[in-house]
Amino acid sequence: MVFDVRDLEHPVIVAPMAGGPSTPELAAAGSTAGGLGFVPAGYLTAQVFADRLAAARRLAAGPVGANLFVPQASAATAGAIERYTAALAPDAERYGATLGEPRFDDDDWPAKIDVLLDLRPDVASFTFGLPSEDECLRLRQAGITTVGTVTTLAEAQAAVARGVDVLAAQGPSAGGHRGTFDPTAQPSSQPLDELLAAVCGLGLPVVAAGGIMTADDVQRVLRAGAVAAQLGTAFLLADEAGSGPVHRAALQDSRFTETAVTKSFSGRYARGLRNRFIDEHEDEAPFGYPEVHYLTSPLRAASVRAGSPDAVNVWAGTGFRKVRPGSVAEIMQSLT
């Protein structure tokens, strides 16, 4: 029997936030508080992912989820990457960084599927695309509930046809990477409530994500037909989150007034605080995930070491001004 997200004590999911904010402690605290926490696999080796998932399960008094990035064919061209590398040279010099080697990989996909089948988290969600029908079946046979992240009705219909158990409808206000299947497509601007109205009739439970920050927001999406709300930005300042000092300070810095959707950091559209790097490089940045991610990674790390939020991705949703510090338990209580 696979886990049913409708059985959560509190219909609140702590979103998987790859790259640092999501820790085993954050995932476990979300689950222990009556919701559902996630361990993201993105950017990790399969072994590190396994270690973190196992740690979260040891710490949690409740169900635990895992999230995988689905690999896709590269949209990069060698010429575009070369031109972007040249454009980034002044930033690299400014921060004393050597740009990374752009490369393509599948994010250790087969090995991470094996981790899921071995450790058997209660839930496995997928971003940037869908697992195969065979993979969905194998996961379900292992007792794992599968969740497909979708941003449009067409993606939701594809997810239903593929055989996932739950849909996670991501609206345009979400922080971090857009879950769009086509990495070069302009992200949908359809408001979350309209997306929910479109996908809640497809016969699967739907989790709502994107721009949800308060108890009123949670209740709104539940009334719209969602069975749970998934929040990431609301937990970025949690005691258990791995958000670094630069990220935490920027979220509370009055000079950052808006977010922007950009491909300048990773070669794939994602929403974060609008900073100097986005303003200077968005028009130059090519599509090319994960090549651009690897290219800019050392530069972003150098910006953090310098204590500067100006050349690093500070992923956040449009509601970031409402984020508050505290323990996960306290934040969960405020939402429920």
> For the segment 76-127, what is each residue's pLDDT rounded down to a tens digit?
999 999 999 999 999 999 999 999 999 999 999 999 999 999 999 999 999 9
Residue listed under structure tokens 């490369």: 103
Residues 228-248: tens digit of each pLDDT: 999 999 999 999 999 999 999
Mean pLDDT of 56-74: 96
Residue 37 pLDDT > 90, yes or no?
yes
Residues 15, 231 contacting (CB under 8 angstroms): yes
Do residues 66 and 125 lie in contact, with contact meaning Cβ atoms separated by under 8 Å? yes
**What domains can you pick out in the chain, each with its CATH number?**
5-71+107-243+320-335 (3.20.20.70), 75-105+257-313 (no CATH)
Percent of the chain with pLDDT over 90: 99
**Would you say residue 140 has pLDDT above 90?**
yes
Q: How confident is the model at residue 308 (pLDDT cuts 50, 70, 90)?
A: very high
Q: Is the pLDDT of residue 145 over 70?
A: yes
Q: Binning pLDDT at 50, 70 and 90, where does residue 2 land?
A: confident
Residue 281: alpha-carbon gap to chain centroid = 22
Average pLDDT over residues 120-142: 97
DSSP state of 285: P
Of how many residues is the chain composed?
336
Average pLDDT over residues 27-40: 98
- Dihedral sign from CA coordinates of 29, 32, 38, 41: positive
Distance CA 184, CA 200 (A): 26
* Integer Cα distance of 47 and 222 in angstroms: 37
Q: Please give the average per-residue pLDDT across 205-220, as a whole number.
A: 98
Q: β-strand 270-273 against 259-262: which pairing, if any?
A: antiparallel
Nearest-angstrom CA–CA distance, 9 and 11:
7
**Whether pLDDT at 1 is above 70:** no
**Whole-prediction pTM:** 0.96
pLDDT of 252-283, one tens digit each? Answer: 999 999 999 999 999 999 999 999 999 999 99
How large is the average pLDDT for residues 49-71? 97
Share of the chain above pLDDT 70, in %: 100
In angstroms, how far is the first alpha carbon of the chain from the final one? 27
Is residue 126 within 8 A of residue 70, CB to CB? The reply is yes
